[in-house]
Amino acid sequence: MVSCTFNTAKAVKKDDALHTTFVYENATVETGVDTFSVTPTAVEYDFKTELKVPKLGLMLVGLGGNNGTTLIGSVIANKNNISFETKERFVKPNYFGSVTQSSTVKLGVDAEGNDVYAPFNSILPMVSPNDFVVGGWDISKMKLDKAMKRAQVLDVNLQKQLYPYIEDIEPLSSIYYPDFIALNQKERADNVSNVKSDGSVDLENKWKDVEKVRKDIADFKAKNGLDKVIVLWTANTERYSDIIPGVNDTADNMIKSIKENHEEVSPSTIFAVACILDKIPYINGSPQNTFVPGVIELSEKYQSFIGGDDFKSGQTKVKSVLAQFLVDAGIRPVSIASYNHLGNNDGYNLSAPKQFRSKEISKSSVVDDIIESNQILYNDEYGKKIDHCIVIKYLPAVGDSKVAMDEYYSELMLGGHNKISIHNVCEDSLLATPLIIDLVVMTEFFSRVSYKKKSDKDYDNFYSVLTLLSYWLKAPLAKPGFKPINGLNKQRLAVENLLRLLVGLPVNNELRFEERLV
């Protein structure tokens, strides 16, 4: 395991914590007609990072799905050093695709001015995915060995070696409200906790469902001797919930609506509320609006971490980079046409119109802040929006290998045009699973960081909505009153600079005076 030593007076280790001072420099701007009045600002903060890594439990909603079985398979393979042979080569276990496990961070330069990089997870102590204790829920009671085979994601030679570790694991019974997921998922729903004595679905005891989730988490934590638990939704995409005044607009109304069994309370919201009440971090990896305003307010009230929405894996991650590149280059994208076809159960569920609409919303918002950043290209004269079309089709033959095709049509100077076409085959779950690992590792890490202004007495935790997770999320939540940041490079830089400041290093820049000045 690589570790770094930082020689700086800004970071001092004390009582198993790292205490760091940092001056946050920014600028406030007042805009007028063709004018900008810019005032630099500086605020001094103290940060405290707890260095002890806890024993962590991860509970997945959708444990028996493609992502769930791939996640638990990757943890077991890496922990037990399980290698396997494909028709092409011999494969050793790894976590490729994970930022925390397989990427590096620039530390600085060596004596010759060359950049020096270190593993991302060597900067500060972070939990290892090899040490995750994994469990969770699923509406299907299929044991994990058979569920893994059904998913058709991992190589068969690897699956066969994993079966002895998972053949006796059966997911906990989950919550099923038929109106929220596609009707075609009904045949899978044989492991449902909210059922009446006659076997029909019980929609009249939603608070009981909350209490059931809370008990499941408490039992899992006690049984495995865990210090912390994080819950992550990687189950079916739900339809959007209607935002209704008096129902889900405030924390009190949210609780009231659950107790009154309101029809707009979704299963994912039930899980979120259950976690928030016990201060269990909850991450939404699907595109539905789990975090309605009442849930966000409830998380603020209980100071419980939430993160979402929707894993940013293949096509959308490329879009957040390419659109930023075009706009930063002064090129004006006027349309983006995105087509997908996939054959896994996610695609099957998304073939229903209401569930597709949830995904369409999360995928379409990814360029919004990029467009708003350039008023030269996007204004009243040229237009402030782009045409953005998204199509998803279910095609069983391609399985988990999602096919994404994109066309970026842009305007150049003096009436010219540029067209970029991309064909991208994404092995869906093998891209999403490393994101789950990163979201969990970073959520746990952020829970050990606190801060205060230099003049304050007490430390605070980060705001309840963990916007620092945005790098891994397609439609990131923002603090009420703020706009989400979708540009991938900005998101990554924020996380990297936080790690740097916590160990007393300056935030990263590429001025490179070592080579640019005489």
In a 3-state reduction of DSSP, which class is residue 197? coil
CA 79 to CA 76: how far, in whole Å? Answer: 5
Please say whether the beta carbons of 214 and 274 come within 8 A: yes
Residue with tokens 């490079």: 489
Which of 158, 157, 160, 191 shows the shortest CA–CA distance to 64? 191
CA 358 to CA 452: how far, in whole Å? Answer: 38
Tell me how far CA of residue 406 lies from CA of 335, 339, 415, in angstroms. Answer: 10, 6, 22
Q: What are the residue numbers of the active site?
A: 310, 359, 402, 474
Residues in a beta bridge with 11: 20
Residues in a beta bridge with 452: 46
Residues in a beta bridge with 37: 30
Q: Which residues, 6 or more positions from 215, have their beta carbon under 8 angstroms from its beta carbon?
A: none
Please say whether the beta carbons of 306 and 258 come within 8 A: no
Please say whether the beta carbons of 59 and 38 come within 8 A: no
Please say whether the beta carbons of 213 and 40 come within 8 A: no
Please say whether the beta carbons of 496 and 443 come within 8 A: no
Which of 319, 307, 287, 314 shows the shortest CA–CA distance to 488? 319
Tell me how far CA of residue 327 lies from CA of 273, 381, 455, in angstroms. Answer: 39, 17, 41
Produce one character per residue of 195-224: b if its CB has 16 or more CB atoms within 10 Å, e if not.
eeeeeebbbeebeebbebbbebbeebbeee
Positive or negative torsion for Cα 125, 130, 135, 137 = positive
Q: Which helix (H) or strand (E) holds 118?
A: strand 115-119
